[in-house]
Each structure stands twice: as structure tokens, then as C-alpha cells.
Amino acid sequence: MSVMRFSIPRDIVYGADALNHLSTLKGRRAMLVTGGSSMHKFGFLEQAATLLRQAGMETRIVEGVEPNPSVATVQRGAQAMLEFEPDWIVAIGGGSALDAAKVMWCFYEHPQLKFADILTPGSMPPLRNKARFVAIPSTSGTASEITAFSVITDTDNHIKYPIVAADMVPDIAILDPALPATMPPHITANTGMDVLAHAIEAVASTAATSFTDPYAMEAIRLVLENLPQAYHQGSDATARFNMHNASALAGMAFTNASLGLVHSLAHKIGGEFGVTHGLANAILLPYIIRFNRQFSDKYARVEKLLGIDDLAKAVERLNAQLNIPCCFSQCDEVNFDEAHFHDVLERMSRNAHADPCTWTNPGQPTVADVRDLYEAAFYGRVEVCCEA
């Protein structure tokens, strides 16, 4: 048996008022990285800057990270860091802001690198030569605050690239449930289903171990029990706390066990059509659970442990409670034009099959399998997955 690793942030600070931990950091300069206007709107960005100033640090902000962070945005942020020379990078906001900040950090520390230089797992050079990293999520979804993963979009080629590097695991993760309590229902639903996809894929991964399974199982339980309440009653502090914790627990599992076809297919259909990542995961998840059952008994173990009759059906019931469509052709978030879908299907299938997340999916799925799964999830053909 080969040597394995289990990596998580050195410190995970969680619970009410956890954001105050920023005032205890030691350093000279801190660069805040954030996305849209929500962290401004709800005062969290200014609160973070104030706490860092209380710690004796000068602060600057890189803002405007888009929902699918691009290579250009990463390069812009890295240049700002090279000019400011922070010794702390503090990412606050949704998973996109955290993902972008991780790769900005890489190019700040190693400005000679090109984007293509870090795409292969293991190619990231050592970090923490100039700065350490704090991640503060505002959504209960991506778990970027816990993981060695980042997803960056090549907007020229319409491809999302998952970047994996152990050094990108943040030094400190701050989980303050006050931040996700501001999420509107549709974002709560999409990010919450991202958590569930992380946990279920980590369980089924061929790299899953006795270290990762307990975190994934607990995350699945917490999502099934708390996401409907967080969606329908967003002010429920207990549901928000449990979902924020579930996100981190799922992150601990998948950053060490990796993922599978749900994320491979979601990355590529997201790059082609711009559909929200968590929504794509939610639609794909039941189809791929059914397909993967022929290769893995792990879904049955989840069902037995959690008292679930059928995991794929449980996900479908949860999607219905969250007003998530059963297939892409019924999704109105973006324009899923049928002709365009067929035009890009072959390329999208090849790219998804080559995605690093496919490597740890149960079995050995082919490009044809991926194509069939895309068509099943586009049209809602459950029988295709069951007959695979």
C-alpha cells in the first residue's frame, strides 16, 4: 500500500464571531481578495479590514472576482500583490474569490510562472515564501477554505481547469455562520448541493480511505437534514451553522480523496454554457450515482448508515424541495439551446473525460459513457444510467 496524506488547514476557527480572529494575526500588510458587492453590502469586507488594522496591518483590496474566475483576473490580482507585497492574503467571499486568491498567491510568490505551468497535479512550486493565506467563506458550498483545489476558467477556450496543489490548503479557515446567513435562497440551494456532491463523490472515490469517509458521511447527513430548512428559512441560525460545518467537512473529505464524474462533467458544461457550478452538480448527481452503482458498493453503505432507501432518489427529492430542475433542458438559469448542446457535446465529453476528477471515479468510464451521461442529464433519461 502506498503512502498517503491527509491535509487540512492548520487552524479552523468556527462559530459565532469567528471573524474576530483576524485581529490576532501578526504581520505588516494584508491583501483582501473578494468578489462582487455582497461583502461590501453587508459590511463584512470593512469589518475584516478593520480587524486587520487592529492587528497593526496596512490593508488593500483586490475586488471584482467574477463567479467563474478567469486567468485574467488571477493575473490582475497577482500584479496588485507584487506591488503591495503583503505577508497575509485574506480571501473573503464565495468560492470563486477564494479560488482566485489561491492562484493569485501562487503567481505572487512565483511571478515567472505561466498559467499552463501549474495545471498538472504536483507542478505547483512551494508557497509561503512571501505570505500566508486566510480563507473566509461567505457561502456554504465550495469548501475552498479547506481544500487544495482551485477552479479557474480559460475564457478563450471555454474550459474550467481544476488546479490541485497541497500547498494551496489555507493556513487558517474562518467559518463564521453570520456570512452565509445573508445568502438568498437560490444561492443557498446551489451551494448546498455542491456540498452534497463533494461528500457523495468523496465517498465513492477510488482514493477514499477510513480517514476521509467519516467526514463525508457526516456531511451528507448534515446536508439532508439541514439544507431544506436553510433554503426555506434562511434566518435559522442552527441550519446555517450546520450547513457551514457540512461544507468544511465535505471539503476535508474531497481534498484528500478527490472527486469523480459529477465534477468532471460540471466543470465542462459550466465552461461551455456558464451554468452555476452547484446547480450543474445538483442536476448531474442522481444520473451519475445510478451509473456508478455498477462499480461501487459505497452508495449502499451510505444508505445503510443513514437509513436512506435510495440515494439517487433522495437527491432527486431534495432537488425538488429546492426548486432545482431534473435535467438541463428544463433549466432556465442560462440558455441550454439544444442545437448548441449537440454541437459541443463531443468536445465537451472528451474534455470531461480528461478532467482530473475522472481519475478517481469508480470503474473506468469511457468518452462514450460521458457522452451518454450528458445526454441523459440533458433530456432526463434515467433509464440510460440504469442500463449502463
Instruction: Name, in order, each residue with C-beta under 8 angstroms of 356's C-beta and a sequence gap of 6 or more.
Output: 121, 162, 164, 258
Classified as helix, coil or strand, 129 is: coil
**Crossing angle of the two packed helices 185-204 and 261-273, in degrees rounded to 10:** 140
Instruction: Name, in order, each residue with C-beta under 8 angstroms of 221's C-beta and a sequence gap of 6 or more.
Output: 306
Give Dmax (Cα) for the chain.
62
* DSSP state at residue 42: T
Per-residue confidence (pLDDT) for residue 120, from 0 to 100: 86
Give 11's strand partners: 172
Per-residue confidence (pLDDT) for residue 149, from 0 to 100: 86
Q: Give me 290's grid cell.
A: 445510478
Classified as helix, coil or strand, 172 is: strand
186-213 core/surface letters (b: 16 or more CB in 10 A; e: else): bbbbbbbbbbbbbbbbbbbbeebeeebb
Per-residue confidence (pLDDT) for residue 1, from 0 to 100: 55
Sheet holding 88-93: strands in order across? 11-14, 172-175, 132-137, 88-93, 29-33, 58-62
The dihedral region occupied by 77, where left means phi > 0, alpha psi between -120 and 50, and beta the remainder, is alpha
Q: What is the pTM of this model?
A: 0.88
Rounded CA separation 352/373 (Å): 11
Per-residue confidence (pLDDT) for residue 377, from 0 to 100: 97
- Which residue's entry shows cell 488571477? 74
Rounded CA separation 300/151 (Å): 30
Instruction: Name, in order, each residue with C-beta under 8 angstroms of 107's C-beta and a sequence gap of 6 or more.
Output: 74, 75, 78, 113
Q: Which of 62, 342, 19, 66 is nearest to 181 (CA)?
A: 19
Per-residue confidence (pLDDT) for residue 228, from 0 to 100: 98
- Render pLDDT for 103-154 as a digit per residue (tens, 0 to 9): 999 999 999 999 999 998 889 999 999 999 999 999 999 899 999 889 898 8
Dihedral over Cα of 254, 273, 362, 382: its sign: positive
Query: What kind and span of H or E run contains 210?
Result: none
Per-residue confidence (pLDDT) for residue 160, from 0 to 100: 79
Per-residue confidence (pLDDT) for residue 384, from 0 to 100: 66
Q: Which of 106, 95, 104, 165 is nearest to 135 (CA)?
A: 95
- Collect the ranges in the chain with pLDDT lower than 70: 1, 384, 386-388
Q: For strand 88-93 and strand 132-137, is the pairing parallel, antiparallel, or unpaired?
A: parallel
CA angle, 383 as apex, 379 and 388 as ends, to 5°?
A: 110
**Crossing angle of the two packed helices 277-292 and 367-379, in degrees rounded to 10:** 120
Count CB-CB contacts under 10 A for residue 184. Answer: 10
CA angle, 326 as apex, 281 and 96 as ends, to 5°?
A: 25
Instruction: Name, in order, each residue with C-beta under 8 angstroms of 3's C-beta and a sequence gap of 6 or more.
Output: none
The domains located in the chain, with CATH, are 11-180 (3.40.50.1970), 185-386 (1.20.1090.10)
